[in-house]
């Protein structure tokens, strides 16, 4: 059983954050699907814990822990603030204003 309780209220909140409009039928469908996804992720966590500390993931394809080639840092001119902020839906001074998502 998932540690996070997926209920209709949580599905509505996530849909609101994603600016999605869902019917009651869709909310029920996503409630069931999200519960299954979280349950599966918890099963994966248990598998990782059972492998022990000496287990190392395959890094040949750029997975977690892979050493990737670095590139040289280059100093480049950035956009002027006004141009970067031109299409911002909301701003505070020279910063983007975004809705609060963490309570």
Segment of 18-32, 59-73, 80-94 carrying the highest mean pLDDT:
18-32
Residue 70 near residue 59 (C-beta atoms within 8 A): no
Domain segments of the chain as ranges: 1-52
Evaluate if residue 29 carries a pLDDT over 90.
yes
Residue 96 near residue 90 (C-beta atoms within 8 A): yes
**39 sits in which H/E element:** helix 24-51
* CATH, domain range 1-52: 1.10.20
Of all residues in the chain, what percent carry a pLDDT higher than 70?
Answer: 80
Task: Write out pLDDT tens, residues 43-79.
Answer: 877 776 677 666 666 555 655 666 667 788 899 999 8
Determine the Cα–Cα distance for residues 55 and 33; give it in Å rounded to an integer: 31
- Report the chain's mean pLDDT, rounded to a whole number: 83
């Amino acid at each position: 059983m998932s540690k996070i309780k997926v209920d209709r209220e949580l599905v509505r909140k996530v849909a609101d954050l994603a600016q999605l409009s869902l019917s009651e039928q869709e909310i029920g469908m996503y409630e069931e699907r999200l519960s299954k996804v979280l349950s599966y992720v918890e099963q994966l966590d248990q598998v990782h814990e059972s492998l022990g500390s000496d287990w190392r993931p395959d890094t040949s394809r750029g997975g977690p822990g892979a050493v990737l080639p670095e590139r040289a840092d280059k100093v480049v001119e950035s956009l002027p603030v006004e141009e970067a902020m031109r299409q911002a839906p909301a701003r505070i001074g020279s910063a983007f204003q975004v809705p609060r998502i963490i309570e």
